[in-house]
Structure 1
Amino acid sequence: MEPKKNPKADLTRNSGLYFVIGLALVMLLTWRALEWKKYDKGDNYDISLNVEDQLDEEVPMTEQIKTPPPPPPPAAPEVIEVVEDEEEVEETVIESTETSQEEEVAEVEDIQVEEEPEDIDVPFAVIEDVPIFPGCENAKDKRACFNEMMQKHIRKNFRYPEIAQEMGVQGRVSVMFTIQKDGSIGNIRMRGPDKNLEAEAKRIIEKLPKMTPGKQRGRAVRVPFSIPITFKLQ
């Protein structure tokens, strides 16, 4: 017995394509339905502002104020009187600064100009008359005697600070001071590795005796002097 169905008539052959087309149509209709908008055709709306007019009072008209004309200028006097100046003015007499022949003129040689002494510092190495340390008055070389007496003074008054000894501090302290015009010691400055050593060096210099001041051209001047003091642990 032969089958009645045509073998070429396969209904499921294009079912996938039909499903996709149908799905696309359904999605298109759904999107259009969601985007559908409806507008009123009537134009019956009022575009004017709903503002009540509350200005019921009448505003009076401003009146024009007329300014009065300026007063007329004063009339000029018919007769001009001339008043004479009766006050007398004293004249200032300017005296001449030129000298007459009768006055005596001082000559330039007779005028003496006093020179004011200048406070200058003359270094110890170049001063004419060095300061005299007590005990060097009769020495032939007062400069060498001064240096020798300075070393004796330092050795005599030298004292190593205990704090520096405990800390093991040693070194050289450069001391600078000035022998004033009256022979006193001033302007002491120190530079060293430790403050305790600097304080000891200052104490030694402050114990220096008063000296005979140094002189330059026969006039007392200030003399700066510097000397190193060495602190060395045994």
Structure 2
Amino acid sequence: MRPKKNPQKDLNKKSGTFFVIGLLLILAMVYTALEWKSFDPINQIDVALNKVDDSIIEDAPIIELKATPPPKPKVLPIEIEIIEDDEPIIETEVIASEVDTDTEIVDPSNFEVIEEPEEVKVIWTTIEEVPIFPGCESAEDKRACFNEMMQKHIRKNFRYPELAQEMGIQGRVNTQFMINNDGTIGAIQKRGPHDVLEKEAVRILSKLPKMTPGKQRGSAVKVSFAIPITFKLE
């Protein structure tokens, strides 16, 4: 007859519990081993081989540099040169021009007063009698004849400067000249795009003939006349 085991003392009954406990202990040991951190020991090493004694430290000396002042300029004594002047002094005699009882009184009627006529200048648009260009003496409208003869004179004497042609210079030169009270051509004023064209315009106007002067209130006067001269390349 086989002996019967006591069920309360059967070890196989709690084997599962012991297995789980053992597994947990092993896992805890493995986790602790993996997470364990170790550090190298910290060694404080003094890299200085020699320590300086604080008692021998001295402050750096302060050196003061003094600039040498520049030498004072030498003051030379003033030399006074004495020149002997033996030339005689010429005294100027001043004659007084004050009036006294012996001064002769001059009669004003003995003087002849010459009145110089005031020079009158009139512009072309307000002159009463315009200057007459040679050839317009018998024309009814002397203004229109004057302008026509001026255009003929410019076309006849016109010459395009070679330098202006080479440089491609063109434009209008505004000119103004004076017809004096004796019929001659006076000062010529000009303004244009280039000095070459201005000189050519002056040359053309300087060849104008002598004219019959213009009149204002029956007296010959100076008359200013303005005309543009156009230079255009074909």
Residues 1:194 and 2:221 aligned together: no
Q: CA deviation at 1:114?
A: 8.2
TM-score by length of 1: 0.52
Where in structure 1 do 4 or more consecutive aligned residues deviate above 6 Å? Answer: none
Match of 2:223 in 1: 223
Matched residue count = 135
Aligned-partner Cα distance in 2 for 1:168–1:174? 19
Aligned-partner Cα distance in 2 for 1:147–1:196? 25
Can you list the C-alpha shifts for 1:53-78, whole angstroms capped at 9, x where unaligned? xxxxxxxxxxxxxxxxxxxxxxxxxx
The one-letter code of the counterpart of 1:192 is: G
| 1:29-108 → structure 2 map (5 Å cutoff) | none
Aligned-partner Cα distance in 2 for 1:202–1:213? 21
Match of 1:124 in 2: 124
Q: CA deviation at 1:177?
A: 0.6
Match of 1:137 in 2: 137
The one-letter code of the counterpart of 1:159 is: R
Match of 1:149 in 2: 149
TM-score by length of 2: 0.52
The one-letter code of the counterpart of 2:162 is: E
Q: CA deviation at 1:118?
A: 1.1
Aligned-partner Cα distance in 2 for 1:154–1:187? 18
Aligned-partner Cα distance in 2 for 1:226–1:207? 16
The runs of 5 or more residues in structure 2 that have no matched partner are 1-52, 57-100, 103-112
Q: CA deviation at 1:148?
A: 0.6
Q: CA deviation at 1:156?
A: 0.6
Q: CA deviation at 1:186?
A: 1.1
The one-letter code of the counterpart of 2:233 is: L
Match of 1:159 in 2: 159
Q: CA deviation at 1:116?
A: 4.3
The one-letter code of the counterpart of 1:225 is: F
Q: RMSD value over aligned CA atoms? A: 3.0
Match of 1:208 in 2: 208
The runs of 5 or more residues in structure 1 that have no matched partner are 1-25, 32-91, 94-112
Aligned-partner Cα distance in 2 for 1:122–1:220? 10
Match of 2:28 in 1: none
SS of alignment partner, residue 221 of structure 1: strand
Can you list the C-alpha shifts for 1:9-28, whole angstroms capped at 9, x where unaligned? xxxxxxxxxxxxxxxxx98x
Q: CA deviation at 1:115?
A: 6.2
SS of alignment partner, residue 152 of structure 2: helix
Residues 1:170 and 2:154 aligned together: no
Can you list the C-alpha shifts for 1:1-52, whole angstroms capped at 9, x where unaligned? xxxxxxxxxxxxxxxxxxxxxxxxx98xx79xxxxxxxxxxxxxxxxxxxxx
Aligned-partner Cα distance in 2 for 1:175–1:153? 15
Match of 2:34 in 1: none
| Structure with greater helix percent | 2
Q: CA deviation at 1:167?
A: 0.3
Aligned-partner Cα distance in 2 for 1:187–1:130? 18
Aligned-partner Cα distance in 1 for 2:148–2:194? 27
The one-letter code of the counterpart of 1:137 is: E
Q: CA deviation at 1:189?
A: 1.0
The one-letter code of the counterpart of 2:157 is: N
Can you list the C-alpha shifts for 1:70-100, whole angstroms capped at 9, x where unaligned? xxxxxxxxxxxxxxxxxxxxxx79xxxxxxx
Q: CA deviation at 1:135?
A: 0.2
Match of 1:182 in 2: 182
